[in-house]
Amino acid sequence: MKRDKINRVLGRIPTHFIVIFTILIWVVPTFGLLITSIRPVQDVNTTGWWTVFSSQEANAPYIQSCAACHGADGKTIPQADLSNPELTAKYPRSLQLLALLRKDIDGKPHMGDIPLPTSQEAADIASYLRGASSGEVSSRFTTSNYVDALVGYRGRNSYLQDCSENAQSLDLKCDASDLLNPRGMGRAFLNSLFITIPATILPILFAAFAGYAFAWMHFKGRFILFAILVGLQVVPLQMTLVPISRLYAQMGLNGTFLGVWLFHTGFGMPYAIYLMRNFLGSLPSDLFEAAYLDGASHWTAFTKLVIPLAMPAIASLGIFQFLWVWNDLLVALVFLGGTTPVMTYQISNMVTSLGAGWHLLTASAFLSMLLPMIVFFAFQRYFVRGMMAGAVKG
């Protein structure tokens, strides 16, 4: 008996291990992205996100490396006053600082026998000098990436900083209208929402009608029709892009929201109909017979019986379709292009070909996750129930 118990515990270890491993490989990078999205640009560009956990005083590396000559307040060498913002502005990042320190002064190394700071230390020194000269304590975290992503600002400094300091010279408007500018995530969020809501409601509505008809209305050829519909699911979306965009060109639907709604509706329907038919078909037939005997029309049966009973299926379909349309890049790219950017399109543009823009990319990614998360947690109950709907039939 004792051995049984041991065996059982041992037998479970691999499963636990796999579960924990799977959770880790998802959670750790996501967590890293989250941290990156709230770090200042300069830090993102110089050091990894894990360095935020090394708890160092902001000025500790400075005291170790520079204070010996420049003094703790940076004022000891008059011609190189490190508390002077005009001087330190020439070395905004660790790279410039390190380049300066590698240059000799009068033929001798800048730092004498003191070892050069590592790139992490140099980044800390740079941000310490920035903070000391601007009179504010530079912090490890910031929300400015989110603001930059929302307005689509790709300047050297953050949008808010440039707005307060150089609005004139950079020709910035700095009012609420910037939130809707086509380069930013704010506008893209509205576009995505405007596409997703009809593209989620329409296919489910049609699928509920069709599912009811396939399950409870007797007409000729319904099995063949249903089989064709189910078979249609094998048609890959990519195959239809060219014919449909030619059709749209003739109908003037290219670049319109209507075109995207119709496309998503068409491609969402086969699966939705299949699921609705199976769900509605599994409802007890007595229910419908009783309703018909009482003189209920199909319409009454549909609105009074089917809709309330099918709520779990509708909700889970809704979540799936919503996520699918929200995360879609291909269809939006082909039919809307860059003129009406959606969130996925905007995210794909955040990183330049040189790899800069990580702070914007990560912030944008989290902005685009926000709504799906809310939807998921709001309907989570239905989600599990809906997945079970196909599995357990009574």
How many residues bind ligand HEC (CB under 6 A)? The answer is 22
Our CB check for ligand HEC shows the closer of 121 and 162 to be 121
Our CB check for ligand HEC shows the closer of 92 and 281 to be 92
Euclidean distance between the first and the last CA atom of the chain, given in angstroms as a whole number: 38
Region near ligand HEC per CB under 6 A, out of 43-51, 82-90, 350-358, 371-379: 82-90
77 near ligand HEC (CB under 6 A): yes
Residues 119, 123, 125, CA angle at the centre, nearest 5°?
115
The binder of ligand HEC chosen from 44, 47, 94, 117 (CB under 6 A): 117
C-alpha–C-alpha distance, residues 195 and 321, integer Å: 12
C-alpha–C-alpha distance, residues 183 and 171, integer Å: 16
Our CB check for ligand HEC shows the closer of 27 and 105 to be 105
C-alpha–C-alpha distance, residues 98 and 110, integer Å: 11
DSSP 176: G
65 near ligand HEC (CB under 6 A): yes
Would you give the distance in Å from CA 125 to the centre of its chain? 33
Q: Which residues contact 286 (CB under 8 A, 6 or more apart)?
A: none
228 near ligand HEC (CB under 6 A): no
C-alpha–C-alpha distance, residues 163 and 157, integer Å: 10
Torsion of CA 320, 321, 326, 329, to 10 degrees: 110
Our CB check for ligand HEC shows the closer of 126 and 269 to be 126
The binder of ligand HEC chosen from 25, 63, 89, 105 (CB under 6 A): 105
Amino acid at 89: A
C-alpha–C-alpha distance, residues 345 and 333, integer Å: 7
Binding to ligand HEC by CB under 6 A, coded x per residue (else -) over 25-64, reads ----------------------------------------
DSSP 378: H
99 near ligand HEC (CB under 6 A): no
Ranked by CB distance to ligand HEC, the top (closest) residue is: 66
Q: For the chain, where are the E strands, in sequence order?
A: 104-105, 108-109
Q: How far is the CB of 257 from ligand HEC (least distance, A)?
A: 54
Region near ligand HEC per CB under 6 A, out of 104-112, 234-242, 306-314, 385-393: 104-112
Point out which residues bind ligand HEC (CB under 6 A). 65-66, 68-70, 77, 79-80, 82, 87, 90-91, 97, 100-101, 105, 110-112, 114, 117, 125
